C-alpha cells in the first residue's frame, strides 16, 4: 500500500491565491465557527503532525484545537527532544513523518525560502505556520476573517500595518491577501524596518496618516530577527511608532486595533489599548481556530 498523499491542497502562502479561494476559506471558517461545541468523527482516521521548528503559543495550540475539533489524530513534534538535536535536517524530519503515514504536516521554520524546497520533496500537503519573514498565511486569514466579521466586507477598507515590516511574515501575508480582496494597504515603519521590495505594493505613510485607517494593525518588534543596532530603546520606539493612548484618540471611532501577538505591551502598543473596546487582539486569537479548521479541511480533501 502506498502512503504517498496528494499535496495539491498545501497552503504555503497567500501570494497568488484568488479572491474566490480566499473567500471560500473564510466562508468555511464561518461554518466551523458556528460548530465550536462539536467534535466531529469525520477525520478520526487522519493523522496530522504539528512540526514547529520555531517557538509558538497561539499558532501551535490553535492548530491543535482545530485538529481535535475535526476529530483528527494529533502528533506533536517537539524539535527540542527530536533527532534534530542529532543534526537531522528539516527535510528528513518531514520525510520521516510522511513515511509513517501522516496525512498533513503543519510546519513552522526559521529560515526563509526553505519551505518551498521541503514541500517539493514530500508528497503530503503542508500548511505553513510561519516561515522566516516570508509568509504566515493562517495568521493573515484569521486577520481577514476578523475584519470581515467587523466590517461585513474587506473590499474598500484601508489597512495600516505599522512597525517592523522588514521582518514581518504577517505583514507580507496580509498584504497579498488584502490587496486581492480589494483593500488598500499602507505601511508605517522606521526607515531601518522598512522593506524596499514591498514599496511597489503599499505606500509608506506618516504615523498621523496611518492612524486614519479603518484598521490599525500593529506589529511586534521582532528582536530575535534583528541585527545589532537596529533597535535603540523601547522608549524611543514607543515615542515614534508606538500606538499610545494619546495616538489612539486620533483614530476614527469605527476603526479597529489589531495585533498578531505576542504583544510587547508599552512598546508597540500601550497596555490599556490591548483590551480596549476597539481592540480585536483576543478575538483574532479565537478566530484562529475556525480558520485553521477550514485550512486543515481543505488540506484533507485529497
Ligand atoms: N501570532 C503568532 O504567530 O503567535 P505565535 O508565535 O505564538 O504562534
Sheet holding 73-78, edge to edge: 73-78, 47-52, 104-109, 126-131
Give the per-residue pLDDT at 42.
85
Q: What is the pLDDT of residues 75-87, one digit of tens each?
A: 999 999 999 999 9
Distance in Å, CA 59 to ligand 1 centroid: 5
When the pLDDT of each residue in the chain is averaged and rounded to a whole number, the result is 94
Give the per-residue pLDDT at 107.
98
The three grid cell numbers given for residue 267, joined into one nine-digit string? 512598546
* Full 3-state SS string of the chain: CCCCCCCCCCECCCCCCCHHHHHHHHHHHHHHHCCCCCCCCCCCCCEEEEEECCCCCHHHHHHHHHHHHCCCEEEEEEHHHCHHHHCCCHHHHHHHHHHCCCCEEEEEECCCCCHHHHHHCCCCCEEEEEECCCECHHHHHHHHHHHHHHHCCCCCCEEEEECCHHHCHHHHHHHHHHHHCCCEEEEECCHHHCCHHHCCCCEECCHHHHCCCCEEEECCCCHHHCCCCCCCCHHHHHHHHCECHHHHCCCCCCCEEECCCCCCECCCECHHHHCCCCECHHHHHHHHHHHHHHHHHHHHCC
Q: What is the pLDDT of residues 236-271, one digit of tens each?
A: 999 999 999 999 999 999 999 999 999 999 999 999
Residues near ligand 1 (Cβ within 6 A) = 56-59, 130, 139, 260-262
> In testing the pocket of ligand 1, which one of 109, 139, 168, 264 has its CB within 8 Å of the most ligand atoms?
139
The three grid cell numbers given for residue 5, joined into one nine-digit string? 498523499
Nearest CA to ligand 1 atom 6: 56
The answer to whether 19-136+285-300 and 137-281 have equal CATH topology is yes
Q: Who's near 282: CB < 8 A, 6+ residues apart?
A: 275
Give the per-residue pLDDT at 2.
40
> What is the average pLDDT across 228-243?
85
Nearest CA to ligand 1 atom 5: 56
Residue range 137-281 in CATH 3.40.50.1370: yes
- Rounded to whole angstroms, the Cα distance separating 279 from 36 reads 23
Q: What is the pLDDT of residues 156-191, one digit of tens each?
A: 999 999 999 999 999 999 999 999 999 999 999 999
Distance in Å, CA 119 to ligand 1 centroid: 22
Give the per-residue pLDDT at 40.
81
Give the per-residue pLDDT at 38.
81
Distance in Å, CA 193 to ligand 1 centroid: 20
| Cα of 258 vs its chain's centroid, Å | 12
> In testing the pocket of ligand 1, which one of 134, 261, 263 has its CB within 8 Å of the most ligand atoms?
261
Q: Is the dihedral of CA 189, 261, 250, 149 positive or negative?
A: positive
- Rounded to whole angstroms, the Cα distance separating 180 from 22 reads 9
pLDDT band at residue 227 under the 50/70/90 scheme: low
Atom of ligand 1 nearest to the CA of 261: 1
pTM for the structure as a whole: 0.95
Atom of ligand 1 nearest to the CA of 108: 8
- What residue segments make up the domains of the chain, in order of their start? 19-136+285-300, 137-281
- Rounded to whole angstroms, the Cα distance separating 218 from 102 reads 36
Give the per-residue pLDDT at 1.
38
Q: Which CATH number fits domain 19-136+285-300: 3.40.50.150, 1.10.10.10, 3.40.50.620, 3.40.50.1370?
A: 3.40.50.1370
- Rounded to whole angstroms, the Cα distance separating 212 from 152 reads 19
Q: What is the pLDDT of residues 111-149, one digit of tens each?
A: 998 999 999 999 999 999 999 999 999 999 999 999 999
Amino acid at each position: 500500500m502506498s502512503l504517498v498523499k496528494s499535496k495539491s491542497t498545501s497552503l504555503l502562502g497567500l501570494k497568488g491565491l484568488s479572491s474566490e479561494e480566499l473567500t471560500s476559506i473564510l466562508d468555511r471558517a464561518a461554518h466551523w465557527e458556528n460548530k465550536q461545541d462539536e467534535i466531529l468523527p469525520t477525520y478520526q482516521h487522519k493523522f496530522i503532525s504539528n512540526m514547529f521548528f520555531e517557538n509558538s503559543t497561539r499558532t501551535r495550540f490553535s492548530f491543535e484545537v482545530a485538529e481535535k475539533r475535526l476529530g483528527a489524530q494529533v502528533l506533536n513534534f517537539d524539535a527540542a527532544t527530536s533527532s534534530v538535536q542529532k543534526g537531522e535536517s528539516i527535510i528528513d524530519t518531514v520525510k520521516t513523518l510522511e513515511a509513517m503515514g501522516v496525512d498533513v504536516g503543519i510546519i513552522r521554520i526559521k529560515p526563509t525560502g526553505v519551505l518551498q524546497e521541503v514541500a517539493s520533496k514530500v508528497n503530503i500537503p503542508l500548511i505553513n505556520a510561519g516561515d522566516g519573514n516570508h509568509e504566515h498565511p493562517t495568521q493573515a486569514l484569521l486577520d481577514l476573517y476578523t475584519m470581515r466579521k467587523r466590517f461585513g466586507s474587506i473590499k474598500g477598507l484601508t489597512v495600516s500595518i505599522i512597525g517592523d515590516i522588514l521582518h514581518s511574515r504577517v505583514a507580507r501575508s496580509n498584504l497579498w491577501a488584502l490587496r486581492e480582496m480589494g483593500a488598500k494597504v499602507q505601511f508605517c515603519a522606521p526607515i531601518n524596518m522598512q522593506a524596499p521590495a514591498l514599496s511597489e505594493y503599499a505606500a509608506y505613510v506618516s504615523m498621523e496618516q496611518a492612524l486614519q485607517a479603518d484598521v490599525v494593525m500593529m506589529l511586534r518588534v521582532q528582536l530575535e530577527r534583528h541585527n545589532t543596532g537596529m533597535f535603540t530603546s523601547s522608549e524611543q520606539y514607543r515615542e515614534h511608532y508606538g500606538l499610545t493612548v494619546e495616538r489612539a484618540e486620533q483614530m476614527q471611532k469605527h476603526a479597529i486595533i489589531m495585533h498578531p501577538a505576542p504583544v510587547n505591551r508599552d512598546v508597540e502598543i500601550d497596555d490599556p489599548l490591548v483590551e480596549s473596546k476597539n481592540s480585536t487582539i483576543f478575538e483574532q486569537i479565537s478566530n484562529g481556530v475556525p480558520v485553521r479548521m477550514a485550512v486543515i479541511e481543505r488540506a484533507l480533501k485529497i
